[in-house]
Amino acid sequence: MYFLIRHSTLAIISFLLCAQGWAQSSRCDSIQWTFDVNQFAIDGDNLLADFAEKGWTPDFFQTNNIDVTIYGATDCPGTFEYNTALAGYRAQYLRNYFEVSAFPYTTIENSYIIPERNCVSPGQGYNREDRVTALKVCWTGNASPTEAKQSKEQPRETPEVTQEITETEERIEEVVADVTPVEIQVEPVPDPAPDSVKVVKSDAGYELPTKPKKTFNEESTPELNKGDEVIVEGLNFYPGSHRTLPEAKPILKKLLQMMKDNPTLQIEIQGHVCCASKPNEDGLDDETGDFKLSWNRAQYVRDYLIQNGIAESRISFRGFAMTRPLVFPEKTIQDQIKNRRVEILITAE
């Protein structure tokens, strides 16, 4: 569920949620990421490093009673409609990570969209501190490794602390009387599960694999010959995005090293999408705004290799929409993740 919070109320809502968690003795922690203008994608390396620093592992999320809240916010320049959509994308991007990564059982009850955070007068300029995605996690149960270590250093509750909590509860009642989030449906924000699609008329059908494909993963590198079709295991993407999941970074680096170790190897990078009702329906790329998601995913991997020293002449790319699913029909989120991928074709040894 999404809620629209107008202008300067984020500080009040943040205070309210933190105070409630404190008063009810649940343990809470948070992370905040800032962005360049118009950006909404969180860098995968930063995301994983921040989670690791907090001790937020998949096991922690599955063995505790977790309450997750996500905020997406913008600064002042631009129209309110545009900033509402951008704040929605920022919140949705992080929400998608939980949907398709190692935390599939985490329930996110609410996401808050805060366009034009702290904008209280006309003509306010850019402010990076207002262009944020924030993640708040509260839990009861076993402590995370980081929290468990810190808890040993926390002082025991005193009468003074008890009095402060009571005063905080009274302030919460005053805040609630003044702040009521308005539930809205944010149309520009895509569905977190499927890739958005556009119908392209075609007589082509689904082409399911007719021969075994080789698998390239972090543990093993197969012998590669011209004509081999290779599944790059773990090279998967956010829904509606050409950006890879954070967990894809190691396999991207290994693919780069393989290209460096085999200087005559040439490849075609092949992009795919999930969730289409017809095979030639390609996905909407939320960041570029075009219906070339399978092509954009292949190009993203190609650009990564070229930027890291691989000759452009050694790499071609193309998109297949959903004409070549690995799993069909798709019955689970994991099936969708498998189809939302990039493969490689060896064109020269």
Burial class (CB within 10 angstroms; exposed 0-12, middle 13-18, buried 19+) of 113? buried
What are the tokens at 332?
Answer: 């689970």
Average pLDDT over residues 293-317: 94
Residue 262 has pLDDT above 90, yes or no: yes
Q: Residue 45 has what pLDDT? A: 67
pLDDT, tens only, 55-103: 888 788 878 888 888 999 999 998 888 888 888 888 888 887 776 665 6
Average pLDDT over residues 203-229: 80
What are the tokens at 43?
Answer: 């860098």
Q: Does the domain at residues 197-348 carry the CATH identifier 3.40.50.300?
A: no
Cα–Cα distance between 275 and 271 in angstroms, integer?
A: 14
Residue 158 has pLDDT above 80, yes or no: no
Give the H or E element holding residue 349.
none
pLDDT, tens only, 159-183: 554 454 455 444 434 433 444 444 4
With CA atoms as reference, report the closest residue to 74 among 2, 7, 9.
7
Domain boundaries, the chain: 2-183, 197-348
The chain-wide mean pLDDT, for the chain, equals 75
Cα→Cα distances 69→1, 109, 134, 240, Å: 10, 7, 8, 22
- Please state the φ and ψ torsions of residue 9, each to the nearest 5 degrees: -85, -5
CB atoms within 10 A of CB 31: 18
- Contacts of residue 47, defined as CB under 8 A and 6 or more positions apart, other chains included, come to 33, 97, 246
Pick the CATH number of 2-183 from 3.40.228.10, 3.30.499.10, 3.30.1330.60, 3.30.300.30: 3.30.1330.60
Question: Looking up tokens 């005559």, which residue turns up?
Answer: 264
Contact between 185 and 2 under an 8 Å Cβ cutoff? The reply is: yes
Q: Do domains 2-183 and 197-348 have the same CATH topology?
A: yes
More confident of the two residues 121 and 267: 267
Report angle CA 186, 188, 190 to the nearest 5 degrees: 95
Residue 257: CA count within 13 A, CB half-sphere? 11
